[in-house]
Amino acid sequence: MRPYLWSQAGNPSSVHAAGRRARQAVDTAREQVASVLGCKPGELIFTSGGTESDNLAVIGAAKAGARHGRHIVTTAIEHHAVLFAARALKAHGFEVTELVVDQGGRVDPDDLAAAMRADTILVSIGLANNEVGTIQDLASLARIAHEAGVRVHTDAVQAAGQLDINVDRLGVDLLSLSAHKLYGPKGVGALFVREGVSFERRSFGGAQERDRRAGTENVPGIVGLGEAVKRAEADRESRSAHMRRLSAALIERVTAQCPQARLTGDPERRLSAFASFAFADIDAESLLIRLDLDGIAVSTGAACTSGSLEPSHVVQALGLPERFRRGSLRCTVGRSTTSAEIARAGDAIVRHVRALRAVAAPPSAVG
């Protein structure tokens, strides 16, 4: 990325040599991403990240399809970049069905089939959830939508680097990516839009990205995205196996020692990096702070709005019993995480959960 910040800082739209070198770098990145997605380079739009890709996909595809109908189907556990984009369309006369999920976070294909209507124009279902790691059987879901003649978008932001994101095998028409989930830079992503899929642009100005997204390209970011996608795919299986071993060890360590811990998400169909829990009768924010002081970085998955802590929409959609709703902890391992770190993190979680429960719960309930 560094040359494209300094010595090769040409604008890819410029015709002179510096501009052509920048254009070449963008083209190379486009080929790198296309080769992992199994699509044509021209089917990719570079964006400012997963949020923009999701917004563009949902709004761009919905508006373009509006003459055929105004019904969109998504799920209750989508990232807000999808969910809020879909809900925003209601003000423009669209109807949105948010499918419920089972306790593990999986969409029932029969529910999707039942939600299809003559005026349905788009289905948007994330390949894997970003709070609990649950993986959907997207190929089957996409088949149901296509049989009804409906386009399919998937948010693959969390799944990329851990799952196969070949667009034909997934059977999707639109797919969102973000570089920073792949050890790439923040603030850059891509949207795949299958050739022939109608799509309405959301930004106006220059004719960049084949007239689908105006504005000078983020050349260093795009170079970083291309390289990150390529490297993530090259060692995806070995890295996933490593992460699977570590997350399984963390799950085992925590659930064996904390009777009041529940694994959240699907026990089998989950991303290898994920070990997400819900603890009864504790506030996960306090747990997070204690772990942070120990040098362990986790998140709660809970949205924090104006000082009041509400369980996240994902935790709510999983239907956890009330006692568990504030105790949701999202742990993820990475390519450089070690077994020793997992042992330390597991012991710290158990120690702090016990301490918090001793303070919060009546003595008989301490586990």
Q: Which of 39, 258, 304, 331 is catalytic?
A: 304
Q: Is beta strand 274-279 parallel, antiparallel or unpaired with respect to 328-332? A: antiparallel
**Between residues 155 and 173, which has the closer beta carbon with respect to ligand PLP?**
155
| Cα separation values, 155 from 118, 136, 150, 182, 248, Å | 24, 11, 17, 14, 25
CB contact at 8 A, 165 and 127: yes
**Between residues 261 and 315, which has the closer beta carbon with respect to ligand PLP?**
315
**Residue 155 in contact with ligand PLP, rule: CB under 6 A:** yes
CB contact at 8 A, 119 and 130: no
Distance of CA 58 to the CA centre of its chain: 15
**Between residues 81 and 317, which has the closer beta carbon with respect to ligand PLP?**
81
CB under 6 A: which stretch of 50-58, 195-203, 221-229, 244-252 binds ligand PLP?
50-58
φ/ψ bin of 189: left (φ > 0), alpha (ψ from -120 to 50), beta (otherwise):
beta
**Residue 54 in contact with ligand PLP, rule: CB under 6 A:** yes
Which strands make up the sheet holding 328-332, listed edge to edge? 261-263, 274-279, 328-332
**Residue 313 in contact with ligand PLP, rule: CB under 6 A:** no
**Residue 10 in contact with ligand PLP, rule: CB under 6 A:** no
Cβ neighbours of residue 350 closer than 8 Å, sequence gap 6 or more: 253, 254, 257, 258
- Please confirm, yes or no, whether 331 is among the known catalytic residues: no
- Distance between CA atoms of residues 150 and 132, nearest Å: 28
CB under 6 A: which stretch of 24-32, 85-93, 154-162, 274-282 binds ligand PLP?
154-162
CB under 6 A: which stretch of 44-52, 218-226, 336-344, 347-355 binds ligand PLP?
44-52
**Considering just the CA atoms, what is the radius of gyration of the chain in Å?**
22
Interface residues for ligand PLP in 99-128 (CB under 6 A)?
126
Q: How many residues bind ligand PLP (CB under 6 A)?
A: 14
Least separation in angstroms between CB 297 and ligand PLP:
15
Least separation in angstroms between CB 226 and ligand PLP:
16
**Between residues 10 and 133, which has the closer beta carbon with respect to ligand PLP?**
133
Interface residues for ligand PLP in 183-212 (CB under 6 A)?
189
Residues 74, 178, 276, 332: which binds ligand PLP (CB under 6 A)? 178
Residue 269: CA count within 13 A, CB half-sphere:
14
The residue with tokens 């049989």 is 147
Which amino acid, one-letter code, is at 311?
P
Least separation in angstroms between CB 185 and ligand PLP:
10
Cβ neighbours of residue 355 closer than 8 Å, sequence gap 6 or more: 290
- Distance between CA atoms of residues 329 and 280, nearest Å: 11
- Distance between CA atoms of residues 310 and 12, nearest Å: 45
Residues 62, 72, 81, 191: which binds ligand PLP (CB under 6 A)? 81
**Residue 224 in contact with ligand PLP, rule: CB under 6 A:** no
**Between residues 71 and 180, which has the closer beta carbon with respect to ligand PLP?**
180
Residues serving a catalytic function are 304
Residues that bind ligand PLP (CB under 6 A): 49-51, 54, 79, 81, 126, 130, 155, 157-158, 178, 180, 189
